[in-house]
Structures are given as C-alpha cells and as structure tokens.
Amino acid sequence: MLLCCAFFLVFGIAQAKSEPQGAASSTPSLPAPWQDAVKLLTDKIAAVADQSKPASLQVTNISSLSPAEAAEIGAALQAGLSGRLHLVSATEAETRIIVTLSEGEAGYIWVAQVSNGGGQSVEMVAFPSEGNPAVRAVRPGLSLERKIVWSQHEPFLDFAIPEAPANNAQQIIVLETRRIISYEQRESKWIPGATITLNPATALPRDVRGTIWQGSQEFEALLPGEACSGTPGNLLSLSCAPNASTNPEMSWPLASTAGRANAMFRANRNFFDGLSGAGQGEAKLPAFYSAAGMSENDGMSWMFAGTDGKARLYEGTGTASATFSGWGDDIATLETACSHEWDVLVTGAGDWTQPDHIQLYEIRDQQAVAKGQPLDFPGPILALWPSTDSKSARVVSRNLQTGMYEASIITVSCSE
C-alpha cells in the first residue's frame, strides 16, 4: 500500500517575498518533467491562494517516490512559492497549503489543497511516472556491474550496440517479435532509424525467444520462424528469410570463449534440442534453455541449463560430471580480466512475476563457487546472452515496478 509509506515534509521557514518568480524552474537536479510539474503546480497554487495572507506549506509523499526525491520536490515547491507568497510556519499561517505527492494508474498526481479561511481549493498536476530511456549506470554489487542501455514499454527479445556506428552517434538495435529497429542518440534523444519488418513463417510460441549475433564480419538476428543476416552497423543490409514452417528446428549461435557454436533451437517451443558444431563434429544433448562454454588448454567444456531445472557440466564426455540445482534457466560464460577461472553468470530461480538476480559463479574442480554479491533486478530476467567475445553479457529484463522492458550490459569489475 502506498499510504503505508507516507511521511511529512513541513516547510515553515519564512522566505523573503522579493525572491524572483519562477524560482522552481531553477532546480536542475530534478528531472525535466518534475520541474515542469513543480512550475505548473506553483502557478496553480499562487492563482488560488490569497497572496495578502501568510501561508504555510506542507508536503506529504504517499507515492513511490523516495524520501530524498520527495524532499527535493518539496524544496523546489517551496522555492517556487516563496517568490509569490509569504511563507511562514503553520502556526502563523492564515492560508494552509498541503501538497500531496500521490500516484495513480496513469502516473504521478500531485495535489495541492489550499485552505483560505473557510474555503478550500484543490489543484492538481498529473504526469506519467515512467523514466526516460536514458543511459545510466548501476553499481549494486561487489563485482558485477549493470549498465541499463535501453528501456521501452513493448517487450523485446534482444538488442545489440554497434561497435562502430556510421556517424559515431550512439546506436542501439532492438529485436522485437515483429521488427528489428535501430535507434540513434541525437542531442540526448533517441531517434528511431531503420526498421526491418519481420514475417516469421510459424506462429510464435508464447515464450518467444530471439537472439542477435554480432561478429566482426557478420550480423544475425534470429527468432522462431525467421532468420536475418547482414553486415554489422548497417541494419538495411539485413536479408531476412522465413524458416520453413515444417521444420521446427533452427540453428542458433551460442557464444563461448572459443568462439561460435551452433545449437538446434526448437522454434515452436523455448528450448534448444542439442548442440552441434564447435569444430568437433556432431553432438546431441538433453534439451536445454541456455549454455555456457569455456575453452581451456585441454579442450572445451560446456554447462547446460536443462529443461528439467538442473544445470549440468560436461567436460568433454557425454556424461555430466556435475549437476547444479536451484539455478534459473539462463546462464552465460563471462570471461574476466581478474580471473583465469571459468566464470558463469546464472539467473535466479522463480518465475516471471518475481524479482530476479544474477550471481557469478566460478567453476572449478566440478564445483560452482559463488563470487561476490548477486546483482539484483527489480523483475524477471527474460534473456541472458553472452557477447560474442564473452567479455560481457546482454540482459533483457522486465522492471515490475515500472512495467518497462530494460536492456542491460553486465560486466565484472575487478576492483573488489
């Protein structure tokens, strides 16, 4: 319940009336929509308050805003009003202004109750509570770092950040179920660019998955029933072909420290049927959701997150040498500069209605040892793919607090 988190900010310090009007606009620490809302609300309050009478301001937060954010907004409101009204403490005031920072289905709604003697006016401003899809860094753990690079309302399957965009502007390519679209950052705004419409040959499964492979020479985007390939950095070079609907299997790439391997993905379900290639001939394994591969001097090892909920380690034989339980379904190798061991990112168990996390494990002597603190996500992780060079990982997750789908890059910091 939002109301359980209510707290009060009371502003009763008298301010000089000679401060310039519109001071609320000079609050650069607030996001622009909040500054606009503060300005609008102060205008509305000033229009109904009796400016000849001393007034008090009380700000209450019953929304999901943090206490610090609410305090900033309260300070901005006070600054804005102090130029127009004679603000005093509540005991001296003849006009009482109570601002409630509230929130409804449509977003934030800030309500001012202005009591002038016997009458009361209610003024409000409302605006969406969603965040801007800005790049921001989060450093919640000892070793894992998450950088959110994109967010949007609509679900998406995977994303790629071109390494050498054409005009040096920051770009992101987003794979959705019906299109591939690129965005370019210009003057702090993301502008949609080229779009490729997808026409998969088969009905998409409910848990639709998709992946992007971005190599130095090739760029591929795959989802059930359709495969696209082209050159990196040029979305318009993509050529897409539907996968024959009679063949439910597609060859999808898997990254490992040895480079690319291929696995057969069941296009009408959500798992891989087996693994092939990797330069060592055909091999077939029990069905799995995700894989982590590691090349070492003496060969190649793989770990598979099976559809039975168990992760199994295969060290070159057809028999699992170790089994791990309690993990989620997505794993990925992460090669770090601070360790010569095999490190694997592992999502948490649970389901898509719950927050998630990623834990880094070191695989050594057929045991998995947790390293550092888990990296928490405010919602389920929907996809975890290693980068082509396994130096980082891409994560698509859903933020249960905002409802937004977020793209993140996961790396390891050696500074712990």
Partner 1 sequence: MKRPLSLFLAASSVALAAGPAFTARRPHYGGTLVVEEAAKLSSLDAPGNAAEARLKAQIESLIYDRAGRNDTSTEPGAFRLAQWEPGKDAVLAANEGYKDGRPFVDSVEIRMGRPAGDRMMDLELGKADVAEIPVEQARRAAEGGARISASRPDQLISIVFEGTSATTGDARIREALARSIDRAAIVNFILQKQGEPAGGLLPQWSSGTAFLFSTAADPSRAKEIVAQIGPSPKLRLGYDSGDPLLQAIGERIAVNARAAGMAVTPEAVAGGGRPGSGAWLTRMDMPSAEPGAALSYFLEQLKPIVARNEDREPLADPATPEQIYEREAAVAGSYSVIPIAWAPHVYGVSARVRDWSAPEPGKPLPLADIWLDQMDNTPGKKNR
- Residues 152, 174: Cα–Cα separation, whole Å: 10
Among 28, 164, 168, 351, binds partner 1 (CB under 8 A): 351
Helix, strand or coil, per DSSP, at residue 297: coil
Q: Binders of partner 1 among 67-106, rule CB under 8 A?
A: 100, 102-106
- Residues 411, 139: Cα–Cα separation, whole Å: 10
348 binds partner 1 (CB under 8 A): yes
283 binds partner 1 (CB under 8 A): yes
Among 160, 181, 235, 275, binds partner 1 (CB under 8 A): 275
206 binds partner 1 (CB under 8 A): yes
1 binds partner 1 (CB under 8 A): yes
CB 335 to partner 1: min, Å = 15
Amino acid at 85: L
- Residues 390, 116: Cα–Cα separation, whole Å: 65
The helix or strand, by DSSP H or E, that contains position 80, with its residue range, turns out to be helix 67-82
- Residues 172, 343: Cα–Cα separation, whole Å: 27
278 binds partner 1 (CB under 8 A): yes
Nearer to partner 1, 308 or 389 (CB): 308
Among 315, 335, 343, 406, binds partner 1 (CB under 8 A): 315
126 binds partner 1 (CB under 8 A): yes
> What DSSP string runs through 364-396?
ETTEEEEEEEEEEESS-EEEEEE-TTSSSEEEE
CA angle, corner 379, sides to 375 and 385, nearest 5?
Answer: 65
163 binds partner 1 (CB under 8 A): no
- The 33-72 site mask, x for binding partner 1 (CB under 8 A), equals -----------------------------xx---------
Contacts of residue 354, defined as CB under 8 A and 6 or more positions apart, other chains included, come to: 379, 380, 400
The helix or strand, by DSSP H or E, that contains position 101, with its residue range, turns out to be strand 95-104
Q: Binders of partner 1 among 228-247, rule CB under 8 A?
A: none
Q: Is 378 exposed, middle or buried (0-12, 13-18, 19+ CB in 10 A)?
A: middle
CB 261 to partner 1: min, Å = 8
Which span (74-82, 145-153, 200-208, 371-379) binds partner 1, by CB under 8 A?
200-208
330 binds partner 1 (CB under 8 A): yes
Contact 347, 330 (CB under 8 A): yes
Instruction: Return the number of other C-beta atoms located less than 10 Å from residue 383's C-beta.
Output: 21
- Residues 5, 39: Cα–Cα separation, whole Å: 25
Contacts of residue 79, defined as CB under 8 A and 6 or more positions apart, other chains included, come to: 19, 23, 24, 26, 27
208 binds partner 1 (CB under 8 A): yes
Amino acid at 306: G
CB 245 to partner 1: min, Å = 10
CB 227 to partner 1: min, Å = 19
Among 12, 193, 274, 355, binds partner 1 (CB under 8 A): 274
- The 353-382 site mask, x for binding partner 1 (CB under 8 A), equals x--x-----------------------xx-
CB 56 to partner 1: min, Å = 19
122 binds partner 1 (CB under 8 A): yes
- Binders of partner 1: how many residues, by CB under 8 A? 72
Nearer to partner 1, 226 or 356 (CB): 356
268 binds partner 1 (CB under 8 A): yes
Q: Binders of partner 1 among 285-314, rule CB under 8 A?
A: 285-287, 289, 294, 296, 298-302, 307-310, 314
CB 218 to partner 1: min, Å = 22
What are the CA-CA distances from residue 66 to residues 7, 248, 370 (Å)? Answer: 10, 48, 32
Among 163, 207, 389, 416, binds partner 1 (CB under 8 A): 207
